[in-house]
Each structure stands twice: as C-alpha cells, then as structure tokens.
Structure 1
Amino acid sequence: MQIAHFPRRRILQWAGLSAVAMAAAGVSTPSRAADAPADAFAGKTIKIIVPFTAGGSSDIIARAISTPLAEALKATVVVDNKVGANGNIGADFVAKSAPNGLTLLMCDVRALAISPSLYTQLPFDPSKNLQPVAMLAYSPHLLVVHPSVAANTLPELVELSKKKPLSFAVTALASAPHLAGIQLQEKTGAKWEYIPYKGGSQAINDTIAGQAEVLMNGMLATLPFVQSKRLKIIAVSSPKPMAQLPGVPTIGDTVKGFESGTWQGVMAPAGLPAPQLERLSAELLRIIHLPAVREQLIAQGADISTMPPAEMSSFFEKERKGWAAVVAKAGLKLD
C-alpha cells in the first residue's frame, strides 16, 4: 500500500510557514485574525484519548507528541486511556464529544477500520462520527516467541506447531494482530490456540512469563523486549526488512506478499470546524517530524508515515472495505 511521505517543504506548508506558496498552489490556510485566532486552544485542556492500555503503540506515540503539542498550542494536553471493546469504548467517547478540537482520539486506524465489519451493534459509525486529523506512523508487527520455544525461523515455527498447537497471545479479539495471525495460519498451515487479552502490554507480559508461546504485536511496543532478549524474534511483517532489526527476515520472505501492522493516527469528532482541523493537522504533522520525536519513535520501531486529513480518509475507507472481506471469511462477529 502506497503511503504519502511528505518532504520537509510540504510539512512546513501544512504548518502555515509558507502561506504564499500554499495560496499559489490553491491550498487554503486558516486566518489567525478571523478564522483561527492564535488563542483558539490557548489556556484550554486537550484530551488525547487512547483506547488501548498504557504501553502500547498508540499510547507511546500519544505521550511522545503530548508535550510539544501543548507547547505549540499553549494548552494543557492530557493523555487518557479509555480501554475496552477492542478500542471502541474510547472511540465512541470521542465520537460523541463536542467537535471543538479539545477531545482527540489516538488510535490504530486499521483496528478502527475493522470494527464496523466485526461488531453487530457498534454504537457509532467511524466514517460518519469521526473525522481524520493526521496519520502519524506505521509500526509493523513482530512475530515473536518465548525464548524456550524451539524454533528460530518461521518454517521451523510452523512445523513445531503442527506437532502440537502453540498458544498464541491475542492482544484483543479480532484486532489487527489477531487477524494477521489468522492470515498467517491460513497461508502456512500453522496450528495456533488463541489466548485473548485486553491489550498489547498484557499479551507481551504473559508471553515473557511463558504463559503464551507466540505473539504478534506492534514493533513499537514489542522491540524493547526483543532487544533485552526477553522475547525471541522470528520475523517482521513489514514489506521490507527493518533497519532496527538487522538480519531479521520478513514474513513475506516465507509467505509472499504478506504484510501487516498498525497505523497510528489522530481522529476528532465529526463536525470539527476547518480552522481548528487545519491547525491541529499542521501541528501534528510538524511535531511528528521534530528530530527528538522522530528519532525516539524510529529507534523504538515506528516508521514515520504521514497523511493529511483527505488522504487519511481515503486510506480508512480502503482499509474498511479490505478487512470486511477478511472478517467475513474468518466468520468473526462480536456483540
């Protein structure tokens, strides 16, 4: 899937630092004097709702951007974890919040795109009740095992599982890592016994403790435990090898075309006025490229992959349609 990687010049334009060039290109910019006064967010409290447990990929990115966002907007920025229903409790909270830019959702956009096909009674429609603000990062899944598992490659792991099914930690039922595990099982003939958890950090902890043998989870949250040798890495789900993991093969080396991962982005309640949307999007796209933020996230396993609102919206709808077919084939439905 082709993702927009904007050069620094484009990021500066979105940040409103090249208004003349933007006007020439036909891109509208907010007017601080009338449409988006400089103090639109000043002195106020902005909540970034993370619908997953602390320590996961969305949580890591939310906390990395919170301080520079507060400084840029002269506001107080609070990260609030509202966990449950595979991220839908937090997403629903934001969807029903006032569209004033003071309540934002930091989520795995791919997981959010899966929910409409999975849940029979979803209390909100992501396409209608939420609007994209900015896509920030991509984190591939790492396929890891407890160090005691007697396999070092994906083919070895598959063969081992055929002798006796291996326990597979699921970060949340029908989450992107769960569906990736199902796809891997279908394409390789591996035998997994799925153990559901309420979040990535819990799944990681139990795999480290040996209560589960296999795990697929976002690289951003999982890499530190690979580096400390508490988890053994088998492969990475990115289309190409990751620089942070020299010598580690991709799953695609064994299963042609296989790719999975998490896409972290910010959403807002539908109806957010254009000036606030443009200001927030510009600041987020600028902040994610700040050297300190960028270097921190890349070192932990994120790929800074940005999209402005319109492109993020197109990405979401494409993901929604694609994963609907996967969910239907797997026969998954949740109330």
Structure 2
Amino acid sequence: MAAAAFGGLTPGWMTRAWAASWPQRPLRLVVPYPPGGSSDIIARAISQPLADALGQPVVVDNKPGANGNLGTDFVAKSRDAHTLLLCDTGALAISPSVYKQLPFDPSRDLVGVAMLAYSPHLLVVHPSVPANDLRELVALSHRTALNFAVTAIGSAPHLAGVAVERATGARWQYIPYKGGSQAISDTVAGQTQVLMNGMLATLPHVQSGKLKVLGVSKATRVPLLAQVPTIAEQGVKGFESGTWQGVLMPADTPAPVLERLSRELIAIIRSPQVRERLISQGAEVYTQGPADFKKFFEAERKRWAAVVAQAGVKIE
C-alpha cells in the first residue's frame, strides 16, 4: 500500500520536496583566490546575510592556486548542493582558452546561480613612478624597465595589460602572482611598478595615497574617481575591462535550489546596506539570474578566446 501511495510521486516532485528543505547543513562558499581580493571582499559582505536568509551558517573558504582553477575544480567535482563558488566569472571564462588542459569544463561542470557585481579595472602605479597619465607611462616604459604585476598569467587583468601594451606600444615585464591582493601588496611596496586590478580591491590604496591611478578601464568615468580619465579617453578607443563577480554551483544542483539561492543572493546584494557598502568601495551591483548568467558566460568565453588567440597566451 505504501508503494502504491508513492507510485504517483515523480522524480521532479521528489526533487522539489528535497529542495524545499534545503539547506540541511552549513554551506561552504569557496573563493578560489587569497583573502583581500575582489571576490573575497564580496564573499565576506554577503556571507552573514545569506546565512540569516537560509538559516544555516555560511563559511567562506579561500582555496587559491592556478589562477583560481584549484578552488574551481574543487567545487566542480564536489557534486554537493551545499558547496558554492564565488569568483571572477570573467577569469573563469578565460581559463578554457589559456590552459591547454583543465581538470574541469566550466560550461559542463558548473552552473551559474547569480551574477552579483562588477568593478572596472584601475591602471595604477607606485607613487614614485614619474608618470601622471597613460601617455607618460608609455613613454617612460621605453626609457626604464617597468614590472607589471598581474593576478596570474592568463587572468583578465593580465590580458587587459596586454591589450593596452599592444594598442599603445608600451613595454613592460609581467610579474604573475597568486591573486590580486598579493599583486597589490608588492606594487604598494614598490617591488613592481605598474598594476591593473579590480577597483573594489584597489581603490582603498589609491585613496590612501599608496598607489597612483592613471586610468579607468570603463566606457565612462566613475563617480568616485571623476577626475581620472578612462583608458579609452587616453587613446585606446573602445577599451573596457573589469572584474565580474558571480556565484556558481556544481552542474547537477537541482533547479529549485538554484532558483531559491539566486533569489536570495540577488535580494542581498541589492539591499541598501550591502549595495552602499560596495558602491563606496568602487563596485557596481550588477545582477543576473541563472538564464542570463549562462548567456553572459558563453559570450565572455567567446570574446576572450579571440583575445587569447591574438595575444598568443598559453599555459601548459
């Protein structure tokens, strides 16, 4: 009789029933970069509000390495609806073109939950560098050896630097790091002279005078740095790049879980408290649900594939 009673329950119904009780235990929010970068800042801004909304603790877990690929691989293979990934989705879209072999396929093994925020890249230098705009920096690069700090070879800031280098004729040596926070630290210390990185993590060092900003990689000027011209204004027509933060989960996560989590994340990031906190640091709240996120990711993957091919960047 029990079997007959449950005979009419379809797998879809059972999935919805299970999802209605999700989450059943604490969630792990994996950031595949060191603490202090843009993704880490956003993860820590949303973790407590998300825990309050879901009724379970949310633990931020930094798993840096291989330009974010180690932590991403961990989530992709977890097959666990309680493990989330918060990362720079632009960098994630670049990896398939840069790395000859990846242990995961982001389009196959991961699914986008929600896009959360965007921050343009800032082109900055150590205060001792005798250049006050892009033209002066390019001229200086022909007279003096300049080290250009990047979060990793093949990262979005690296490719943005390559694009500026090719468009202007600049000359600099790329120094790779394991994340944005380490690249910033060495540029602040003067061990590297030039840096391009997300505004969210870089702006505080500009405001404190530890870094000097020369340009913003956005189509229009940003209010917090209204006096700073865009890189496009300084001769690199149409140039725009930035850091996109989003949350992804293993591809087999039930749709009802994705839908609920997406709603909660978007509500949190749009809340006045979180929105104002991020805006004050140079990030824009930019939200997308799962369907739009998927379209965005595939478009970014194609766009960056062309840039990588032109730049000839490949990693074994």
Per-residue CA shift, 1:113-135, capped at 9, x if unaligned? Answer: 00001111100000000000000
Per-residue CA shift, 1:271-327, capped at 9, x if unaligned? Answer: 111111111000000000111110111101101111111111011111111111111
1:229 maps to 2:204:
no
Deviation at 1:99, TM superposition (A): 3.9
Paired residues, what number?
Answer: 303
Matched residue, 1:183: 163
Deviation at 1:32, TM superposition (A): 12
Matched residue, 2:281: 300
Instruction: Output the TM-score relative to the length of structure 1.
Output: 0.88
Matched residue, 1:149: 129
Per-residue CA shift, 1:44-64, capped at 9, x if unaligned? Answer: 110010001100000000010
- The whole-number CA distance in structure 1 between the counterparts of 2:224 and 2:285 is 14
SS at match of 2:205: helix
1:99, 1:273 within 8 Å by CA — same for their partners in 2? no
Equivalent residues in 2 for 1:71-82 (5 A)? 71-82=52-63
1:122 maps to 2:102:
yes
1:131 maps to 2:111:
yes
Paired-residue identity, %: 64
Matched residue, 2:65: 84
SS at match of 1:90: helix
SS at match of 2:112: strand
Matched residue, 1:249: 229
Matched residue, 2:46: 65
Counterpart of 1:62, as a letter, is A
- The whole-number CA distance in structure 1 between the counterparts of 2:306 and 2:284 is 27
Instruction: Output the TM-score relative to the length of structure 2.
Output: 0.93
Equivalent residues in 2 for 1:1-335 (5 A)? 34=17, 36-37=19-20, 39-41=21-23, 44-100=25-81, 102-254=82-234, 255-335=236-316
- The whole-number CA distance in structure 2 between the counterparts of 1:85 and 1:265 is 19
Provide the alpha-carbon RMSD of the alignment.
1.5
Distance 1:32 1:258, change over 3 A: same
2:16, 2:256 within 8 Å by CA — same for their partners in 1? no
- The whole-number CA distance in structure 2 between the counterparts of 1:232 and 1:85 is 29
Counterpart of 1:295, as a letter, is E
Distance 1:128 1:32, change over 3 A: closer
Q: Unaligned stretches of 5+ in structure 2?
A: 1-12
Q: Unaligned stretches of 5+ in structure 1?
A: 1-29
Structure 1 stretches of 4+ with a deviation exceeding 2 A read: 30-37
Q: 77-86 or 164-173: which moved more?
A: 164-173
Deviation at 1:98, TM superposition (A): 2.0
- The whole-number CA distance in structure 1 between the counterparts of 2:200 and 2:84 is 21
Deviation at 1:210, TM superposition (A): 0.6
Matched residue, 1:3: none
Counterpart of 1:227, as a letter, is Q
